[in-house]
Structure 1
Amino acid sequence: MATFILRCKEEKGTANVYVRVHSNKPKINLCVSTCLSVDIETWNKSQKDVKQMLKFRKEDPQLWNKLDSISAMLESFVKQEIAITSEIAKERIHSIVYAEQIAAEKERAEAEAKALEEEQATNFNDFISQFIRECETGKRKKKGGTTNVAPGTIKSYKGFQSQLKEYQETRLRVIDFTDLTLDFYNDFRLFLTDKEYSPNTIARMVKICKTICYAAEQLKLMDAKNVRSGFDVIYKDVDNVYLTEERIQELYEYDLSNRPAWEKVKDVFVVGCLTGQRVSDYKRINSKMIVTLTDGNRYIKLKQEKTGNTVYIPLDYRVESILNKYKGELPKVYDQKINDHIKEIGEALGWTETVELEEQRGAMEYTAKKRFCDLLKTHTCRRSLATNMQKAGASLSSIMAITGHSSEQQLKTYLKLDESEKSMLAAKENYFTKLRIAK
């Protein structure tokens, strides 16, 4: 039997009503809030006098309709011999008490969805705005999944939208679905090249354009045949540095207790180098992610923010030590602070040797000379683990299992061995180990 009580000592004012249910079969003994409040004096009078109860019910029918519904719901569980838990009781009570609000919210959401359907874009520029809006609201998910599009990805989409808007203003033309031809592709790339963007930035803009076009094609707003066959995404391998195992250890052991800001960056950066994840992922690694698998070893189980993929990263003792140092949670540091301080830390460690890089800005290609420390940034961590695994003889599939790359081609852009290192690695292959390599 469900009974209603007030759990307060006051005699005046208002108080929450609680419902108590006790049953031996099924075994139920719970007391939870109904989320409804009453005048204490009126309630106490109604509990002592039948006439007062009838008067109370007549004066506040909405309250009692909800209390009666709660009572009937709970008693039905008892009659069916279902052992209801506090969590289930709270959930069902919430649906009864806030039924009007839930119905109104459902109606509002349905009306909003209908309005969005009626506002279906009919031109390319409007569709880009619609596409971004749907990503922001969660209506549009990542391809082939149920995960929301990452904020960083949405920011990239907005960047493309801004570049296309500037392109149209510069060229004095409006681009619609029928204008997405090979001529547009070539001219848009030329426009970005004239702005002295790097080849990889241009490639990223083209890739986003293709993504949006494919989405429009699914809605039968355009035929993306030209886009599919002619809009080549041309990435250029970038000469980026990585930290060797020796330098990672040197960084790990570097005492920066007198520089707290540097020390936090150093520790987060080391975790990044030993886990090989994107900065958005390695910054949030914590002790709760540590699991033991059937091989008896411990791993970091991490769901990647960008892809939604789950990876298992072998737990390095240095990562565990750093997590323990901060009681299981890495210190909060901004990406820009990592980029700034890790260069300064690298300089302090003497990592100042000159590195030659082949760079391109717009149509101009040139060889740049920079100090090693000045090339360190958040993404160096991901390259470091992938390259060090390759040096140790790991297969590409094994590296991909840790980094979460979707293809070997994509992974290869992260492997930064120089020619001498590649040759030394080749010397370990079976063919060469059968020969006697001269010392």
Structure 2
Amino acid sequence: MQFSGAKFVYLHHIIMAILMKGLTIFRRTTKSEGVIKLRFRLRDGRDVDLYHKSEIKADLKDLAKFEDDGNLRPKVSIYNHELKEQIDREMDAIEGAYIELCDKMDKSLITAKLFEETITKHLHPEDYIAVTKEETLLERYDRFIREGYRDGTFAEKRVLQYKGLYNELKRYLIIHHQLSILPKNFSADDLMELRLFLFEEYKYVSKYPSLYEEIKERCIPSKERAQNTVAIKLRMLQAFYTELEDRDEIDVSPFRKLGRNRRKVVMKESYDQPIYLLQEEFLTVMKTEVPETLQETKDVFLLQCAFGSRIEDFKSLNMDKIGVNIDGIPYIHYLPQKTLRNNEHKEEIEIPIMKYALEIIKKWEFKFPILKYVTGKSGYNVKIRRLLEYCKIDRDVKIFDKDSASNIYKPLYTMGSSKLCRKTHLDMLTKVQVNMYVSGHHKEGSNAVKHYSSLSLKDRFILMCAAYEQPLYKVDKELNVIG
């Protein structure tokens, strides 16, 4: 890298600022012993205050022998040499990355993301060299997933969904002899061919059995995928191509080349009218005596209906997530996983625990073997359908049938799943609010009702108990009922 005289002087000042005070090990822990991952901090005047989280694991006893600037403390002769080498290497990479960025732009414009990417390039130059060559569509999509997870853009569940599409895309490219195709050469026509493949992949299973040998049987396509499923997969691929556009790696996304009307059809998602248990149907399930083989299913189903939690959140609940407020009302609290990335202030959901729900919790303490498998031939969803059938929840519900292009009717119990719990919960609480209109206390569309979510925990507890026909009660801190 060649510098002019003025540029050399400027970068010399940058280097001196880093060496004198700007780059330090960032110690922020209440631990006195154990192992932590090292973080580093780089400051340069008022404009720059950047942090870097490394992969270095350091024992706090070893770390205590180092100054904040990475040098050994005075009179220290016995120390962890490997840790010293790791710290030096990391600080050299940070320094090199910062100098490189200062050469390209004003230091006040350096973002945390750009800083991390440049440090990674200095730490792993071999990887950087590898990604500068033209990658195939599959290689670039794989890197898109890995970087999204590394940067926190994708949560673990989202990564699994993107990897699922990766596997489907790979099978498509193999079948169509396009494994070496580049992202920029994947056309709008290719996109439409991929869409058709996603709908009809089940037809290829018998033709290309080797492509499905290592896939779990329940994951092998056995019927045509639904429009919504395919649309969601295409939206994930669209997000990938949008990033390539944003990074100027391609000129135009194939999704843009589809044209507005065709893209609207391709990406369209449609949903049937929501299906849920009416209040009397829910109470029927609650009051029905069931055989021992269905008792756990009944308890779990009723508990999930009480909370309305998504299945992943529901599975994560435990006794530590129960609190009791000053009014003696027990409640569960948790961070919803689906919206965690956009939950800037990490605000928890708080849901009052009705009396019947507390009794189930005390009985099981959230240790439900049935939740080990939600889907599959003997999973939780299937057992919900058996429970509802036993309780004679057989009201006909309307489903749109794509093949006949008309509505068909099925007994409600055939539609049983964990999603039914959430929809039932939301509907029952909505009905309580509708009752407010009926009572004349509020006009329809009243802001007082729209602000249901801002009601106090006590107010929501009263509404929930009314909806589920449960008694009001209080508990002490040990969850003993006291009134």
Q: TM-score range by the shorter chain?
A: 0.5 to 0.7
Structure 1 residues 226 and 246, CA, compared in 2 at 3 Å: closer, same or farther?
Answer: same
**Equivalences for 1:368-407 in 2 at 5 Å?**
368-393=408-433
1:189 to 195, 207, 227: 195
Q: Which amino acid aligns with 2:365?
A: K
Structure 1 residues 33 and 116, CA, compared in 2 at 3 Å: closer, same or farther?
Answer: closer
Cα drift, residue 375 of structure 1: 1.0
2:278 aligns with 244
Cα drift, residue 272 of structure 1: 1.8
SS of the residue 1:189 aligns to: helix
Q: Does 1:346 align with 2:388?
A: yes
1:59 aligns with none
Distance 1:274 1:34 in 2: 41
Distance 1:208 1:323 in 2: 38
- Offset from partner CA, 1:117-163 (integer Å, 9 cap, x none): 3332634221111123345xx41313xxxxx612x322221222233
1:323 to 343, 352, 361: 361
Distance 1:400 1:118 in 2: 52
Structure 1 residues 256 and 34, CA, compared in 2 at 3 Å: closer, same or farther?
Answer: closer
Structure 1 residues 327 and 257, CA, compared in 2 at 3 Å: closer, same or farther?
Answer: farther
Distance 1:219 1:99 in 2: 42
Structure 1 residues 170 and 328, CA, compared in 2 at 3 Å: closer, same or farther?
Answer: closer
Distance 1:251 1:155 in 2: 35
Does structure 1 retain, via aligned residues, the 8 Å contact 2:278–2:424? Answer: yes
Structure 2 gaps, min length 5:
1-31, 36-57, 66-78, 91-118, 202-223, 435-444, 456-483
SS of the residue 1:197 aligns to: coil
Deviates further, 375-384 or 118-127:
118-127
Q: Does 1:139 align with 2:150?
A: yes
Cα drift, residue 223 of structure 1: 4.3
Q: Does 1:93 align with 2:93?
A: no
1:305 to 328, 333, 337: 337
Structure 1 residues 102 and 350, CA, compared in 2 at 3 Å: closer, same or farther?
Answer: farther
Distance 1:170 1:133 in 2: 25
**Equivalences for 1:106-125 in 2 at 5 Å?**
113-120=124-131, 122-125=135-138
SS of the residue 2:394 aligns to: coil
Cα drift, residue 335 of structure 1: 0.6
Structure 1 residues 103 and 380, CA, compared in 2 at 3 Å: closer, same or farther?
Answer: farther
Cα drift, residue 226 of structure 1: 5.5
Cα drift, residue 182 of structure 1: 4.0
**Equivalences for 1:19-38 in 2 at 5 Å?**
none
Structure 1 residues 221 and 34, CA, compared in 2 at 3 Å: closer, same or farther?
Answer: closer
2:182 to 176, 180, 199: 176
Does structure 1 retain, via aligned residues, the 8 Å contact 2:227–2:269? Answer: yes
Cα drift, residue 353 of structure 1: 3.7
2:231 to 203, 207, 213: 203
- Offset from partner CA, 1:174-215 (integer Å, 9 cap, x none): 653324554444343333344532111111111111122233
Q: Does 1:130 align with 2:180?
A: no
SS of the residue 2:150 aligns to: coil
SS of the residue 2:351 aligns to: strand
Distance 1:105 1:397 in 2: 56
1:355 to 397, 418, 428: 397
Distance 1:223 1:398 in 2: 46
Please give the TM-score of this superposition, normalised by the length of structure 1.
0.58
Identity of aligned residues (%): 19
Structure 1 residues 327 and 178, CA, compared in 2 at 3 Å: closer, same or farther?
Answer: closer
2:374 aligns with 335
Cα drift, residue 276 of structure 1: 1.7
Structure 1 gaps, min length 5:
1-31, 36-89, 143-147, 403-439
- Offset from partner CA, 1:13-58 (integer Å, 9 cap, x none): xxxxxxxxxxxxxxxxxxx9999xxxxxxxxxxxxxxxxxxxxxxx
Higher CA-based Rg: 1
Cα drift, residue 326 of structure 1: 1.8
Q: Does 1:149 align with 2:155?
A: yes
Cα drift, residue 171 of structure 1: 4.1
Does structure 2 retain, via aligned residues, the 8 Å contact 1:167–1:191? Answer: yes
Distance 1:240 1:181 in 2: 37
Does structure 1 retain, via aligned residues, the 8 Å contact 2:384–2:416? Answer: yes
Distance 1:112 1:263 in 2: 56
1:167 aligns with 172
Distance 2:299 2:127 in 1: 47
Does structure 2 retain, via aligned residues, the 8 Å contact 1:271–1:282? Answer: no
Structure 1 residues 125 and 399, CA, compared in 2 at 3 Å: closer, same or farther?
Answer: farther
Q: How many residues align?
A: 305
2:352 to 314, 317, 320: 314
Structure 1 residues 33 and 160, CA, compared in 2 at 3 Å: closer, same or farther?
Answer: closer
1:27 aligns with none
Distance 1:293 1:210 in 2: 46
Q: Which amino acid aligns with 1:242?
A: Y
Does structure 1 retain, via aligned residues, the 8 Å contact 2:308–2:426? Answer: yes
1:220 to 233, 248, 251: 248
Distance 1:166 1:34 in 2: 46
Distance 1:223 1:293 in 2: 56
Does structure 1 retain, via aligned residues, the 8 Å contact 2:396–2:412? Answer: yes
SS of the residue 1:119 aligns to: helix
Distance 2:162 2:355 in 1: 39
Q: Which amino acid aligns with 1:373?
A: Y
Distance 1:256 1:101 in 2: 63
Does structure 2 retain, via aligned residues, the 8 Å contact 1:239–1:358? Answer: no
Distance 1:167 1:33 in 2: 52
Cα drift, residue 329 of structure 1: 4.8
Please give the TM-score of this superposition, normalised by the length of structure 2.
0.53
